[in-house]
Structures are given as C-alpha cells and as structure tokens.
Amino acid sequence: MSHPSDIQLADWRSHALNLENQVNQVIVGQSKAIRLMNIAIFARGHVLLDGGVGVGKTTLLQSIARGIGGAYERIEGTVDLMPNDLIYHTFLGPDGRPQIDEGPLLRAGEQLSVFFFNEINRARPQVHALMLRVMAERHLSAFKKEYRMPHMIVFADRNQVEKNETFEIPSAARDRFMMEIPIEIPSDRELKKSLVFNTKFQHAEKLTQQVESGILQFDQLNAFSDQLQDHIKSSDVLEEYTMDLWDATQHPEKFGVTMDSVDVGRVIQTGASPRGMGMLMKAARVNAWLNGRDSLYPEDIHAVFHEVISHRLVFNAAYENRRTALARELTTNIIRTIAVPSLTFSKAA
Ligand SMILES: Nc1ncnc2c1ncn2[C@@H]1O[C@H](COP(=O)(O)OP(=O)(O)OP(=O)(O)O)[C@@H](O)[C@H]1O
C-alpha cells in the first residue's frame, strides 16, 4: 500500500475540518456527534444514531451528504416494509401498464454516499438481514445485474421510545455498526432558544444548502482511508493498554472496575468482539490524524471508546433494559480505572 504524502494528509485533513465546520454552522449544539460522524466517514464505518424525533438527524445527514458529495437516500422503517421495497417499486405507467423502478438502495448506483434508515427497529428482521448484507458487501444482484455501492455509509436510527411493534436489532447485527452516536437536544438554553425562535432552523432544506457541496470527494474516501490506516503508528505500550481495555469489557471486575448500582461481575454476558476492537482502532487512528498526529495516543482511544464499544456489549438479561445508562457507566469507569500509559512519541507538526 502506498503511503500518503504529507501534503495529501494535510489537504484531506483541512477538507475534513472544513466539512465539520460548515456542518456545525447549520446544525447547532451537536459538535461532538459531528466529530464522531466525521471519524466514521474517514474510517468507512456504518453508524447507529441514538436520538429522539425532530432532533435534526435528517438535516444533519443531508448536510453531511452534501459536504462529502454523492447521493443521499432515506427509507422509513415500518412494520410492513419488505426487503424488496429497498430494491424496487412498481407503479402504473402513462400507458396504464405496470412498470418497475429501482428502489432507494439502487437508484443512485455508485453515486450513493449516505443511506439513512430511519427507525430501523420498526422494520422486520428480513429487512435487517438484507441491509446488513449490503452493508458488509456493498453490492447486490437485482434485475439480472450486479449493483455496486462501494462508497455507501449507512446511518440507522432506532426509535428507542416507542417499543410497540418493533424488532430490536440483535447483538450480532449491532456489532456490524462501527459506532452508536447519541443525538441529543442541546442543553444550552440560548441554543435551544435559537432553535425555537430563529426561523432559519425551521427551514431544513435552506439550512442544508448552506453547506458547500462536494467538500470531500466521496469516491476517493475508500482509497484515502486505507492509506491513512496504514500511516498511523502504534506502540507496544499502547497495544498492551488496548488489550487491557478489551479484557475489561468482558471481565471488568478483574481490573478493579466498579459500578455504583450493580455488581460489576454479573452485568456482562459478552464483551467487545474482535471486530469491535478492530473498529475501535480504526476510529482511533482517524482521531489521531484529525488531531494532526501520525501516532496513536490513549486519548485517541478514549475519544471513541464509548461510541464504538457500548452498543456491542451484551448484558445479562436482568440488566438489558438499563443498557444505555449501564453501558455509559461501565465504559467511563473502564477508562478511569485502567492505568493510562504515558507515551513518548514526538507529536507531528
Ligand atoms: N440541533 C439542530 N440544529 C439545527 N436545526 C435543528 C436542530 N434540531 C432540530 N432542528 C430543526 O428541526 C427540524 C426537524 O429536523 P429533522 O427533520 O432533521 O429531524 P429528525 O431528527 O430527522 O426528525 P424525524 O426523526 O422526525 O425524522 C428541522 O427544521 C431542523 O432544522
């Protein structure tokens, strides 16, 4: 694999920060989520969004899609959605005869850069199965041909509030997503006030158009991402530290991790998977690069640990209904308890 030049690294980084900056101008109070989404885009990972309705998810994703270039598609999860609804839809043509058009997953072809699956847990497991396969393979056979969507990143939202008629994504499927990112209503009162009283926030389409289109070249992200991953160095000390973090997701009690309201030794059924740890390091490397470094520091792992690890932990049944709060407490306490090694890399300019 060829190494990216310093100029390439710096150029891409300034584009990445420009994207982040522009999206932060139109979606307010979400800078942490926007940074994490940027990391996922450069690490080429799919994302679960954890948030309520009307918190700006669609506007955020459309703005990001505009910035990275390529096409944006969205589908709503409903109980009667069938796998084929993603692939094609039928309608009566002007001559009164049935016609078939490509569905949201196929119609943009290789231009597809962002696919938003709203309320994925309202869709049936058959639909999840198709989606997960396409997420992993990024191609699909239909209409006697092979459709490729090599640049697609899936953002899927789970409606966490209404549980009627929902089909929760099983843990094996959640593991395919690189991160779960919370999208919360901003807590700052002045920001909240502007969301209510500043009329620009009631016009999502106009907001989205304020983001310059094609800040990144979406069809070059895969190649750059591979080079970037190879470029960032780690060290023995950092690798040993990472192994401890991994073991602690399975046996937190062995590392002296405690939790306030529960016996930490009984909470976890399964810790992070090897795939999850691989994704953790991918995301951490992107964080190092965004911070102008070419070596991994513990802070790079800390920056993404909760969002990459929490959704893949499997809790014992008695704790599953409190998973959001418990996962937050556990990941925070793992990072707090395990001694952080000091590293002596020289920071890149
Ligand atoms: N943090 C925010 N920054 C800017 N606009 C926001 C923010 N939160 C909400 N809005 C505004 O609220 C409106 C609804 O946002 P949007 O449709 O993107 O939400 P959503 O989370 O996708 O909703 P749903 O889940 O119902 O699809 C838009 O006009 C959007 O501009």
Task: Give the tens place of pLDDT for each residue, 49-92.
Answer: 988 888 999 999 999 999 999 999 999 999 999 999 999 988 88
ipTM above 0.95, yes or no: yes
Give 266 Cα–ligand 1 centroid separation in angstroms: 39
Mutate to test the pocket of ligand 1, among 199, 201, 205 (most ligand atoms within 8 A of CB): 201
Q: What is the pLDDT of residue 172?
A: 84
Give 206 Cα–ligand 1 centroid separation in angstroms: 12
Domains of the chain: 6-224 (3.40.50.300), 232-337 (1.10.8.80)
Give 267 Cα–ligand 1 centroid separation in angstroms: 35
Task: Give the tens place of pLDDT for each residue, 129-143.
Answer: 999 999 999 999 888
Question: Which ligand 1 atom is at minimum distance from the Cα of 30?
Answer: 1
Q: What is the pLDDT of residue 349?
A: 39
Mean predicted lDDT score pLDDT of the chain: 92
Kindly state if the Cβ of 252 falls inside 6 Å of ligand 1: no
Give 132 Cα–ligand 1 centroid separation in angstroms: 26
Kindly state if the Cβ of 210 falls inside 6 Å of ligand 1: no
Kindly state if the Cβ of 207 falls inside 6 Å of ligand 1: yes
Query: Is pLDDT at 162 greater than 70 in this prediction?
Result: no
Neighbours of 274 (CB within 10 A): 8
Kindly state if the Cβ of 113 falls inside 6 Å of ligand 1: no
